[in-house]
Amino acid sequence: TASYEAMWERLGLDLDAHTSLLEVLGKFYGDIYMSQQGRLRGMEYLDFVVSEIHGLRIRELEEARAQGRKVIGTFCVFVPEEIVWAAGGIQVGLCAGAEAGTEAAEKILPRNTCALIKSFVGFKLARLCPFTESCDMIVGETTCDGKKKAYEIFSDHAPVYVMEIPQMKGAADRALWKAEVLRFKEAVEDLTGRSITAENLSEAVRLINRRRRVLQRLNRLRAAQPVPISGRDVLLINQVSFYDDPDRFTQKIGELCDELEAKVRRGEGVADGAARVLLSGCPMAIPNWKLPYIIESSGAVMVGEESCIGTRNTRDLVDESGRTLEEMLDAIVERYMKIDCACFTPNTERLEHIVDLARELEVKGVIHYGLSFCQPYAMESFKVEKALRNAGIPMLAVETDYSMEDVEQLKTRVEAFVEMI
Ligand code: BJ8
């Protein structure tokens, strides 16, 4: 890390606090990830990426910025990535999955705010995240009220641009969304100084589709019986997909899938006798591994993640058949309108997707994860439970945050659920 210190200092990080954060993260990763038996060789790439979490990729961003490229940070899968890459920008999903910085965040936000929001504000105020500090623009959105209002406060500290996300899915909402995609395109063109053309947009659509396809392949393979890879390994791959270079990531995960395919052919599993479960709900940003670890050390194995850091972000591709810029932008508008976030009303597609996914994956039960104080997902969990009950699939609703205080209590509840299913 010594070689990175000068870079972290240039980015204005609080070096002492940052060192402690990396130490905690390293220990947490060791306990949760390195302790697993029979992992794929391909996971070494992920271990490397995590060991370099604030190192190598940040250096790449620094080099890219030195050549005039712009870095755009996001907190929501609604931000159309294709536009950023087409304009020569680099998009990074900002993590917001750790508790560090909460104290600072609570000075400017109500305490009863979800942990994800406190985390991104806290990381900024406590100067802990080199990704946040590398951003030339940070894109917020009007999804839940918490995020929407937090961006107003956050914009005093960072270069925030807010996209308006519709709340329903009628014709007027689609028109609003299209206008917002076009407004974003202009903002990105202004920032990067590069026009978006049919040519560069087509390339970007293919680039991001390739990454989605490799994750779809991973999701198909991991669903095999016996289960060939732990759910937390797959979650980690999804988490890393948000900030790694898309080409490199696609190639590395493609290699990992080749290895996984061979393992499936040999009929080798990692979780003998464990109950197959689907995790559903709020996004789990890196390094939020608490609940997955509890689940997978309680006699269950996750075979799917119905969340934005999971199938919601990879299920739908952008149609590649468009030839003109207008057609391509329309295809982008359509693809993103399919996102079934709990911020929409009504949101029946999500209920259908969960039931279909649970059946397809042949799970014994679903664990619904909501962050404390997240109203959209907490409210919707009642409807999810009902839809699953009608399909004969049991569900456990868990509400938690990033602190470790409730680990024992959660473990007891998860174990009782796993025993019952
Ligand atoms: S498309 S899920 S990434 S908004 S957990 S901050 S909802 S109070 S994250 Fe999300 Fe986009 Fe939707 Fe996906 Fe608010 Fe809830 Fe907190 Fe949340």
CB atoms within 10 A of CB 173: 15
**Cα dihedral sign, 346-351-356-357:** positive
Please name the residue whose Cα sits nearest to atom 3 of ligand 1: 76
Report whether residue 369 contacts ligand 1, using a CB cutoff of 6 Å: no
Report whether residue 117 contacts ligand 1, using a CB cutoff of 6 Å: yes
Please name the residue whose Cα sits nearest to atom 14 of ligand 1: 144
Q: Which two tokens stand for residue 379?
A: 């409210």
DSSP secondary structure letter of residue 165: P
CB atoms within 10 A of CB 81: 24
Name the residue of 75, 79, 112, 116 whose CB sits within 8 Å of the most ligand 1 atoms, as the mutation to test its pocket. 116
Which run of H or of E encompasses 103? helix 102-105
Give the contacts of 253 (CB within 8 A, at least 6 positions apart): 42, 214, 215, 218, 237, 241
Can you say how many angstroms the Cα of residue 215 is from the centroid of all Cα atoms in its chain? 13
Name the residue of 308, 309, 368 whose CB sits within 8 Å of the most ligand 1 atoms, as the mutation to test its pocket. 308
pLDDT (0 to 100) of residue 2: 66
Question: DSSP E strands: which ranges in 69-150?
Answer: 71-74, 90-93, 137-141
Please name the residue whose Cα sits nearest to atom 1 of ligand 1: 341
Report whether residue 308 contacts ligand 1, using a CB cutoff of 6 Å: yes
> Ligand 1 centroid to 97 CA: how many Å?
12
Question: DSSP E strands: which ranges in 69-199?
Answer: 71-74, 90-93, 137-141, 160-163
Atom number, ligand 1, closest to the C-alpha of residue 145: 14
DSSP secondary structure letter of residue 78: T
What gap in Å lies between CA 59 and CA 362, rounded to an integer?
Answer: 43
User: String of b and e for 318-337 (b: at least 16 CB within 10 Å)?
Assistant: beeebeebeebbbbbbebbb
What gap in Å lies between CA 135 and CA 97, rounded to an integer?
Answer: 18
Q: What is the pLDDT along the chain (421 residues), one digit of tens a residue?
A: 668 999 999 999 999 999 999 999 999 999 999 999 889 999 999 999 999 999 999 999 999 999 999 999 999 999 999 999 999 999 999 978 888 889 999 999 999 999 999 999 999 999 999 999 999 999 999 999 999 999 999 999 999 999 999 999 999 999 999 999 999 999 999 999 999 999 999 999 999 999 999 999 999 999 999 999 999 999 999 999 999 999 999 999 999 999 999 999 999 999 889 999 999 999 999 999 999 999 999 999 999 999 999 999 999 999 999 999 999 999 999 999 999 999 999 999 999 999 999 999 999 999 999 999 999 999 999 999 999 999 999 999 999 999 999 999 999 999 999 999 9
Report whether residue 361 contacts ligand 1, using a CB cutoff of 6 Å: no
What gap in Å lies between CA 340 and CA 403, rounded to an integer?
Answer: 28
Closest CA to 307 of 337, 342, 277, 274: 342
What CA–CA distances, in Å, run from 23 to 26, 97, 126?
A: 5, 16, 16
Report whether residue 370 contacts ligand 1, using a CB cutoff of 6 Å: no
Please name the residue whose Cα sits nearest to atom 7 of ligand 1: 144
Relative orientation angle of helices 115-125 and 145-154, to the nearest 10 degrees = 10
> Ligand 1 centroid to 23 CA: how many Å?
28
Look at strands 160-163 and 137-141 and give their pairing. Answer: parallel
Report whether residue 140 contacts ligand 1, using a CB cutoff of 6 Å: no
Please name the residue whose Cα sits nearest to atom 4 of ligand 1: 143
> Ligand 1 centroid to 143 CA: how many Å?
7
What gap in Å lies between CA 384 and CA 361, rounded to an integer?
Answer: 17
Closest CA to 418 of 234, 304, 237, 279: 279
Confirm if 227 and 271 have CB atoms less than 8 A apart: yes
**Cα dihedral sign, 75-386-296-221:** negative
DSSP for 54-73?
Answer: TTHHHHHHHHHHHTT--EEE
> Ligand 1 centroid to 282 CA: how many Å?
6
Atom number, ligand 1, closest to the C-alpha of residue 341: 12
Report whether residue 118 contacts ligand 1, using a CB cutoff of 6 Å: no
Atom number, ligand 1, closest to the C-alpha of residue 343: 12
Report whether residue 114 contacts ligand 1, using a CB cutoff of 6 Å: yes
Can you say how many angstroms the Cα of residue 81 is from the centroid of all Cα atoms in its chain? 13
Question: DSSP E strands: which ranges in 157-274?
Answer: 160-163
Atom number, ligand 1, closest to the C-alpha of residue 370: 5
